[in-house]
Amino acid sequence: MFEVILQLLLNQSYLNNLIDPNYRSQSVIINDVIDVGLHNNLVAFNYQANSTSFLNDIEAEYNKTYLVFLPYQLSTDNQLIQLNITNCENSELTNYDCLDFSQISKNYTLTLDVKKNLVSRIIFLVYRCQDVDIYKTTVPENCADPSNIDEIINDPFSAFQLKLYTSQYNITSQKIQTKFRNQVINLQGDQFVFTTQNVNKYQTTVKKGPIFQSDFSFSSPISYIPIIQNFDRKTFSEKNGLTLIMQFTFNLDKIVEEIQIQFPTITQLFLLNATQQQLF
């Protein structure tokens, strides 16, 4: 018995938690509070103007504004807080802009409270440079010609591109691994595009240790399920008094993915080894 235990202690695969852990996953409908922390790499975006260029490069080259992006957070007390746009911090988001949540002093989360029927959202509005309504009340002095704006919007290779943050626990490296999901939304000059992103939360607990195990937990958005609707822009504007060409909204879904990862202890491996010896 002592030799078996010694062999386990010297087993580098065991000491480094390289033996496959127990893994449990279930989707749970939560009827309480769900929240996801807001940070500046959560939502990254850019606009592909044509097959070779991003819109911000064209705007910088000609010193003209084509599209105006207005992001907001709608808090649980129904306050609409305009967000700044900042350079993304992550190296995987080169050429993309990110939403800056640093000016939010409270409700620093995306929240869904099912019992109290409270919700906070991220709302992102996109306008042509010249258009105004109750949300976009000013016009930049350097607007591009409307025909040039339509040319970019109607280009078959143009698209609004999103990179959406997610993270998971990598069992092999034993580290939290950050990734970004790609989404593409195509626009047309005569259309208003309304996109709802239903965000699913991922809650993970990891337990590991040779004898006495410690655990840690983390959470992250794991999936973004888009629902895209197209409307005739002229009809939409006449009915609602809004001139935007696109809106996308982030809502938390009440389904949470719960994950439990537990690496085996020495005792568990010893019992497994003893059982296998009895079988053979």
Interval 11-44: pLDDT, tens = 555 555 556 788 888 888 888 888 888 888 999 9
Tell me which long-range contacts 98-101 makes (C-beta under 8 A, separation of at least 24).
98/40, 98/41, 98/42, 98/43, 98/44, 98/45, 99/40, 99/42, 99/43, 99/71, 99/124, 100/40, 101/38, 101/39, 101/40, 101/42, 101/73
Whose tokens are 């939304």? That residue is: 185
With 80 as the cut, is the pLDDT of residue 79 above it?
yes
pLDDT above 80 for 273: no
Burial class (CB in 10 A: 0-12, 13-18, 19+), 141: exposed
Residue 107 is predicted with a pLDDT of 61
- What letter does residue 65 receive in the DSSP assignment? B
Q: Are 259 and 24 a contacting pair, CB within 8 Å?
A: yes
Q: How sure is the predictor about 140, in pLDDT bands with cuts at 50, 70 and 90? A: very high
Q: pLDDT tens digits for 186-216?
A: 888 889 999 999 999 989 999 887 777 788 8
CA angle 157, 159, 160 (to 5 degrees): 165
185 has which bridge partners?
Answer: 160
Residue with tokens 């959406």: 164
* pLDDT tens digits, 238-259: 999 999 999 999 999 988 999 9
Q: What is the pTM of this model?
A: 0.84
Report DSSP letters for 162-213, one per residue.
EEEEEEEEETTTTEEEEEEEEEEE---TTEEEEEEEEEEEEEEEEEE-SSS-
Spatial neighbors of 276 by CB under 8 A, at least 6 apart, are none
Q: Over 70: is that where the pLDDT of 10 sits?
A: no
Spans of all domains in the chain: 31-206+221-258
Please state, in angstroms and as integers, the Cα–Cα distance from residue 217 to each residue in 37, 55, 107, 162, 169, following that order. Answer: 14, 40, 21, 28, 10
Asked if the model's pLDDT at residue 2 lies above 50, the reply is: no
Please, which pLDDT band fits residue 6 given cuts at 50, 70 and 90? Answer: very low
φ/ψ of 105, rounded to 5, equals -90, -20
Q: What are the angstrom distances between the C-alpha of 157 and each of 38, 50, 138, 151, 252?
A: 31, 5, 29, 11, 31
Q: Using CA atoms in the order 143, 144, 150, 154, what is the torsion angle rounded to 10 degrees?
A: -110
Lowest mean per-residue pLDDT among 36-50, 93-107, 115-129, 166-180 = 93-107
Most confident range (mean pLDDT) of 3-7, 55-59, 76-80, 211-215 is: 55-59
